[in-house]
Amino acid sequence: MEKFKSLEKLESTYLVINRKITEFQLDLTGFVFDDFEVVKPIKYFSFKTETGNAGWILYNRKNDEYEIQPNVFVMKKYNDLNAKYEYFGIRYCDTDGPFYMSRDLIIKHLLAQKESYYFKSEFNDRLKLNLEMFDNNIKFFDSLDSIEFEKALQHTVEKYHFKQIKSVSGFRNCLYILVFDKYKQFYVGSAKSLSNRTKKHWNAIMDFGRFTWVGVKYSRLNVDTFRMKDNTRIFVLTDIEQLLVENKEKNVESLENTNTFGIYKFESMTDLEKAERIVINDSMVKFCLSDRVPINCDKLTIQDYLNTK
C-alpha cells in the first residue's frame, strides 16, 4: 500500500474515516513494533471495496512516512510481540489489556454491564456516583506519603518474612503481597496457584454493584480495579505453618474474616485463610486494599478498625 509524508494526503486518498473501538476490542493506539507506531483505528476505502476495510494508520518513525495496514496485520504483530514478553512471569498476551488502570477503563467496564444491571432506570445516576468514588480514591492516594507507605509495607514484609519475587510461576498454597507504588497501596491475599490468581486480578472486570459498598465518600477501590503494569512489586510467603506458630497468640475468637463473602470465625478457616487474616489485620488501614475498610479511616491497623465494629 502506498506511503505518504502527509497524514492528510493519506486520509484523502483512501477516503479514511475514524473507526470506533468497541468495548470488547483492543485499542492498539500507541502500540510500537519495529520502526512503526500505531496512530489510530480507521476504516478505509479503495476501488476494490465499497463497504470499507478495518485497519490502522501506522507512522514509520525511521522514514517519517504514514501508511495503512489491515486490522489483521496489526493484530498479528501485537500478538507475536506480546507472546515474547513477560511481566512477573506472565506473558503479555495472557492479559486482556490495557496495562494500566484509568478513569476511561472504569467507564468502559461499567458501561459493559448496563444491559445486565438490574437498576437500568438508575444506571446513569449510579455511573456518576461510581466515577465520583473513583475520583475520591485517586485524590486520597495522591495525598498519602510515599515514605510512610514504604515503612508500612516493609513492616508487613519483614515481620511475616515475605520475600520479593521476580516471577509468580511455581508458587502454590502461599500468601502474597501485590504492591501498587504509584497509588501507595498494597494488597495481601492467599492463593492455591499464584500465577492463576495474579492473572485473575489483572484481567478482572469490576462488579458495578460492589463499587460503592459504603457510599461515594468512603468506598475504597477494589484490588481488581488495578491492571498489570500498575502492579510494580510482588512478595510471597510459603511457610504458612511457621507464621501460625509465631503468631499463635492471635488464634482468638475475635479474629474474623470480613472479606467479600461475609464474616466467619477464625476457628472455621483453613490454615492458609488464618495466615492471610493475621497479616491483613496487622496491616495499616490507609495503605491496604485487602479488606472492606473505608478510605479516610482514622484507625491505625485493620484490626483496630474491626474491633470498633
Q: Please give the full DSSP string across 83-99, using - where no structure is assigned.
A: TT-EETTEEGGGS-S-S
Q: How far is CA 225 from the centre of its chain?
A: 5
- The pLDDT mean for the chain works out to 85
Q: Are 140 and 296 spatial neighbours (Cβ–Cβ below 8 Å)?
A: yes
3-state SS track over 205-225: CCCHHHCCCCCCCCCCCCHHH
pLDDT recorded at residue 98: 76
Query: Could you read off the pLDDT of 260-274 as tens digits, one per residue?
Result: 444 556 677 889 988
Residues in the chain: 309
CA-based nearest residue to 36, from 9, 72, 73, 10: 73
pLDDT band at 23 (very low <50, low <70, confident <90, very high): low
pLDDT recorded at residue 13: 86
pLDDT recorded at residue 119: 58
Q: Are 105 and 112 spatial neighbours (Cβ–Cβ below 8 Å)?
A: no
159's grid cell: 515481620
How open is the CA angle 90-94-96, to the nearest 5 degrees? 125
**Distance in angstroms (rounded) separating the CA atoms of residues 109 and 190:** 26
Side chain identity at 12, as an amino acid letter?
A: S
CB atoms within 10 A of CB 231: 21
Q: Is the pLDDT of residue 250 over 70?
A: no
List of residues 6+ apart from 100 with CB closer than 8 A: 227, 229, 230
Q: How far is CA 156 from the centre of its chain?
A: 22
How open is the CA angle 247-279-294, to the nearest 5 degrees? 140
DSSP type of residue 66: E
- The mean per-residue pLDDT over the stretch 105-117 comes to 75
pLDDT band at 279 (very low <50, low <70, confident <90, very high): very high
pLDDT recorded at residue 233: 98
Q: Is the pLDDT of residue 118 over 60?
A: no
Q: Are 23 and 35 spatial neighbours (Cβ–Cβ below 8 Å)?
A: no
Q: Is the pLDDT of residue 292 over 80?
A: no
Q: Which of helix, strand or coil describes residue 242?
A: helix
Side chain identity at 87, as an amino acid letter?
A: Y
**Distance in angstroms (rounded) separating the CA atoms of residues 6 and 190:** 54
Q: Are 15 and 8 spatial neighbours (Cβ–Cβ below 8 Å)?
A: no
pLDDT recorded at residue 260: 43
C-alpha distance from residue 185 to each of 31, 142, 152, 226 (Å): 28, 11, 10, 11
pLDDT recorded at residue 130: 85
DSSP type of residue 301: B
Place of cell 497524514: 7
Residue 10 bridge partners (DSSP): none
9's grid cell: 494526503
pLDDT recorded at residue 121: 66
Phi, psi of 224 (to 5 degrees): -75, 0
